[in-house]
Amino acid sequence: MQSNPSLALSASQKVTGWRLFLKTIVARAYPRVIGQQREKSWIFFDIFLPMLGVAAYVYVYRAIGAPEEYVGFVVMGGAMTSFWMNVLWSMSSQLYWEKEQGNLALYIIAPNSMMAILLGMAVGGLFATALRAAVIIVVGSLMFNVTYSVASFTQLLLVFFLAMTALYGMGMMSASLFLLLSREAWHLSNLAQEPIYLVSGFYFPIKSLNFWVAAAASIIPLTLGLDAMRQLIFPSGALLGFLSVEVEIAVLIVLCVLFLTAAKFLLDYMEKLAIREGRLTESRR
């Protein structure tokens, strides 16, 4: 039997360029989506534990006679914590953990870009985390009788998309920083968790803080993203908003460009450092 030369040639051709980029994203997203479903206990605790924090704040607000919209603010904030935890532990610390497990060297020498690898992790993590956030919103809304009044679905979807893009861009950027800092990445992850809950206004309107504190906290995409979404889905949200929705959308666009550009620069720098010094992938204690 004679083989077809054209088929043999096509089979031997390497995937490069944007096709390699897209295939890398799919390849790294797949284990995140499938792996999350294999350990059922993780799904339970990822939903149950945030609901405990949400319930605590709801009962506090109701005990002090706060406006009922604050209950909705808490439910939304509890859902968005899922995204922050995913970025903090599954994005920012990812390259550090890969180095500890001995996989980072494979990522460095692979022909695909680190940007595509981390973006695939982000897409897979975003899909799994979005399901958990949706469950928290549904369960929290039913438990505490939260009602919504969406002013603009278009703006709401745009704000969510921009906030997630900027947030995961921030995660990719900090992944390089955490890797360069080596073991300090673990301490930074623990240090950043609770302060971000406070300054980002997960459980209260960010407008309650000092203007300059709120402005400084706006460097975290979830701060403005959550504030804008609250303005769009609650009747009194605009009165408690930090900035107008239009301004917050504009700032989120700037943050998207800033973080994605910084992530590309730092990832390229990290690869060059690994090639030049040949010791970035070592686990030094």
What is the DSSP-derived secondary structure letter of residue 14? P
According to the model, what pLDDT value does residue 246 have? 92
Average pLDDT, the chain: 80
By three-state DSSP, how is residue 243 classified? coil
According to the model, what pLDDT value does residue 170 have? 87
Q: What is the model's pTM?
A: 0.81
**Top-confidence residue, 205 or 183:** 205
Q: Which helix (H) or strand (E) holds 193?
A: helix 184-199
Mean pLDDT lowest among 40-44, 48-52, 67-71, 255-259: 40-44
Share of the chain above pLDDT 90, in %: 14
**In whole angstroms, what is the distance from residue 165 CA to residue 171 CA?**
10
pLDDT at 185 over 80: no
**In whole angstroms, what is the distance from residue 175 CA to residue 269 CA?**
12
CB 223 within 8 A of CB 217: yes
CA of 283: how far to CAs of 71, 109, 129, 180, in Å?
46, 17, 30, 12
pLDDT tens per residue across span 140-175: 889 888 888 888 889 999 999 999 889 888 888 887
pLDDT band per the 50, 70, 90 thresholds, residue 36: low
pLDDT tens per residue across span 216-257: 989 989 899 999 999 999 887 778 888 899 999 999 999 999
Number of neighbours of residue 272 by Cβ within 10 angstroms: 11
